[in-house]
Structure formats: C-alpha cells, structure tokens
C-alpha cells in the first residue's frame, strides 16, 4: 500500500517525506484554505512547491463543477508538473471530465466518493484513483472500512485498474484496517502516520535495552 500525506502544510509534508515512506500528497480546497493560500496564482505556486518537494503523485483539486470549467482548470493544473493528478468531484460533469482526461492522458483522482456505485462509475470513466472518504462515512454512523473492502472486491472481480485511495483517515488504526481491506493507497494526516510508530512495549523494551547497554560499556 502506498502512503500519501493529506495536507497542504509544507512543514508536515517535509517531515513525512524525510521519513522516507512517502509516495505522494493529496490536498483539497479546505486544506489549502487552512494554510492561508489565497488566489489562483498562489494556489498554483503552492502545488508547484509541493511537486518540487515530493517525488510522487500530487493531487490538485478543481473548483469548477461544470464540464468545460473542469476541463479548463484540470488542464492548467496538469501543466504545473508531470506528477500532478487532477482531482475531480463525483458529480455528473465530473464523470464526463474524468473520461475526457483519461482519453487525453491526464491522470485523475475521483474525490468525494461514498458508495460502491460511485466507485464503479469512477472506474468506468478510467480514473487513476478513486477516493472513498472513510472517516466521514464513520462520522455519519456507517462503516468506512467496509466500503474499501467492498470496492476492492468489485474491482478485483471486474478487473478495474483504478487504484483505491482511502481518504478522510482519522487514525493509525484506520490505516491498518485499510491495508487489510485492500486499499492501494492511504492518504493520511501526519499524526495518523506517526501513530503507526507507537507501541508501549516498544518504549518499555527500548528503555530496558538502553539501561542494560550501560552494563556492556
Ligand atoms: C483527500 O483526498 C480528502 O480530501 C481528505 O482526505 C478529506 O478528509 P477529511 O474528511 O478529514 O476532510
């Protein structure tokens, strides 16, 4: 399973990248706004900076919701860097745009996916990635990881090539469960990635080893 970091914060991207396990970055308009990035030029420059920091797929989301607008914006985003993945919402014109981008060699990430039916449409349109939002599904009282397993089974039976990108991750446990359920990629906040490191027995064991090491010098 590939690891993406889900943020537009450059310090966090740098920290995750330095761990050596980062395969890409996802952003969305809310994450860009959180970093105070304002205006088209600033947004484009921010994506360029991220592309220069991380050698991997970088998702950049369109704001337009009509077919022509999505194409215009998507083409501009794709021109920033060869690693840009154009992120398109799961709406009718979004599906049409996904197909157009696929036919024209532009990689895509279909976002705001909450059902297996939507994931089938994204795959049929040739999306490179499909992003089920598992944390938001959990928040609404359903089981997000179960959706990952269901999509994984359907894609495997049908031979769809679209990669399942588990998004809206809330914890280290989510990452483990998504790996188990067949996600190809997990896009995670830095805290959830670092959460994978933690186990009390590791801390206790290391303290003991360091204590005993003193006896050997
Ligand atoms: C990433 O591609 C998604 O936009 C993101 O994971 C959504 O996460 P949230 O539900 O925490 O906003």
* Rounded CA separation 95/172 (Å): 31
Query: Can you tell me the mean pLDDT for 53-65?
Result: 98
Going by CA atoms, what residue is nearest to atom 12 of ligand 1?
168
Query: Can you tell me the mean pLDDT for 180-190?
Result: 98
81-113 pLDDT, tens digit each: 999 999 999 999 999 999 999 999 999 999 999
* Ligand 1 near 168 CB (within 6 A): yes
Going by CA atoms, what residue is nearest to atom 1 of ligand 1?
167
pTM of the model: 0.96
Q: How confident is the model at residue 154 (pLDDT cuts 50, 70, 90)?
A: very high
* Ligand 1 near 27 CB (within 6 A): no
Q: What is Dmax (Cα atoms) for the chain? A: 71
Testing ligand 1's pocket by substitution, the residue of 4, 5, 28 carrying the most ligand atoms inside 8 A of its CB is 28
Q: What is the mean pLDDT of the chain?
A: 98
pLDDT at 89: 98
């Amino acid at each position: 399973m590939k690891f993406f970091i889900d943020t537009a914060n450059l310090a966090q991207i740098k920290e995750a990248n330095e761990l050596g396990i980062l395969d890409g970055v996802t952003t969305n308009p809310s994450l860009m706004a959180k970093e105070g990035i304002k205006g088209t030029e600033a947004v484009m420059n921010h994506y360029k900076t991220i592309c220069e920091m991380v050698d991997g797929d970088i998702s950049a989301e369109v704001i337009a919701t009509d077919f022509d607008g999505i194409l215009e914006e998507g083409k501009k985003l794709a021109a920033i860097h060869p690693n840009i993945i154009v992120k398109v919402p799961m709406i009718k014109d979004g599906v049409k745009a996904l197909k157009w981008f696929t036919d024209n060699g532009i990689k895509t990430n279909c976002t705001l996916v909450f059902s297996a039916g939507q994931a089938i449409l994204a795959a049929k349109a040739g999306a490179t990635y499909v992003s089920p939002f598992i944390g938001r599904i959990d928040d609404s009282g359903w089981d997000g990881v179960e959706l990952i397993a269901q999509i994984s089974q359907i894609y495997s039976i049908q031979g769809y090539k679209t990669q399942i990108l588990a998004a809206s991750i809330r914890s280290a446990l989510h990452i483990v469960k998504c790996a188990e359920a067949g996600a190809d990629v997990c896009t995670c906040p830095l805290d959830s990635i670092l959460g994978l490191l933690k186990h009390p027995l590791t801390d206790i064991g290391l303290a003991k080893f360091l204590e005993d090491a003193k006896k050997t010098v």
